[in-house]
Amino acid sequence: MSLISDAGTPVLSDPGNIIINECIENDIKIFTIPGPSAVSAAVSLSGFGDRFLFYGFLPKTKNDLDRLFKNLNIEGYSLVFFIPAIKINFYLKFFKKYFSGRNIFIAREMTKKHETYYRQTIDKIDLFKTQLKGELTIVISKKTKKNSLTTDYVKIEKQVIKYLKSYTVKDIVELMSKKEQISKKIIYNFCIKNKK
């Protein structure tokens, strides 16, 4: 099957993303035909949507990467990078540090003979045991509150204690569960634990 569009690259700003994600869910192999840019091709195949920020080749030093990723960890956009395959494990460590809870799509040697794709959550992807060759295009899915894995329960409990001075348990549970995107039961337990 082929997905063809007469309005630019399929899947970018058109409904083709639905088909891409169905293929991913059903383990159907998908490939892109050569186009003007590895960026648009990789974003199309990622299944992450069409709102993205493209950076280019990443810095090579730890300090530069720390500085960059602190500024790029924003909501609503996928991130696209170029990196040399030989450095993949070096960069994966930084992805795990700064983009926990997000998904990663790695495209190697796109539209060439040894074209290969890797899909995984950033938290679960392992470092590569064998040396990859060529150039990689990396797509990291957008950041959302729903897929954040780093809930600060200490901070939430402190907020609950503060609210207990002015609000009912029921109101606190409703407010905090929506605000923090966590279960009502957790908020309720904090209320009962700290109610005087």
The Cα–Cα gap between 180 and 182 comes to 6
Please determine, for residue 144, whether its predicted confidence score (pLDDT) is greater than 70.
no
2 located within any domain: no
Q: What is the CATH classification number for the domain harbouring 121? A: 3.30.950.10
Mark whether 136 and 158 lie in a shared domain: no
Q: Is-contact 187 155, C-beta < 8 A?
A: no
Q: Is 105 found in the same domain as 45?
A: yes
Average pLDDT value for the chain: 84
Indicate whether 148 belongs to any domain. Answer: no
Same domain, 34 and 67: yes
Number of domain units in the chain: 2
pLDDT in tens, 84-97: 999 999 999 999 99
Do residue 29 and residue 126 come from a single domain?
A: yes
| Residue 172 is assigned to a structural domain of this protein | yes
Sheet-wide strand order for 52-57: 52-57, 78-84, 135-140, 103-108, 116-121
**For residue 168, with 0-12 CB atoms within 10 Å meaning exposed, 13-18 middle and 19 or more buried, which class applies?**
exposed
Q: Are residues 178 and 123 in the same domain?
A: no
> Is 168 found in the same domain as 115?
no
Q: What is the pTM of this model?
A: 0.64
Q: Please check whether residue 4 lies inside any domain of the structure.
A: no
Q: What is the mean pLDDT of residues 9-29?
A: 73
Same domain, 68 and 93: yes
Does the residue 32 lie in any domain?
yes
Question: Of 54-58, 79-83, 103-107, 153-157, which gets the smallest average pLDDT?
Answer: 153-157
**Same domain, yes or no, for 23 and 97?**
yes
What whole-number percentage of the chain has pLDDT above 90? Answer: 34
- Both 96 and 34 in one domain: the answer is yes
User: Is residue 110 domain-shared with residue 182, that is, in the same domain?
Assistant: no
Same domain (yes/no): 28, 69: yes
pLDDT of residue 52: 92
Query: What domain range is 160 assigned to?
Result: 153-194
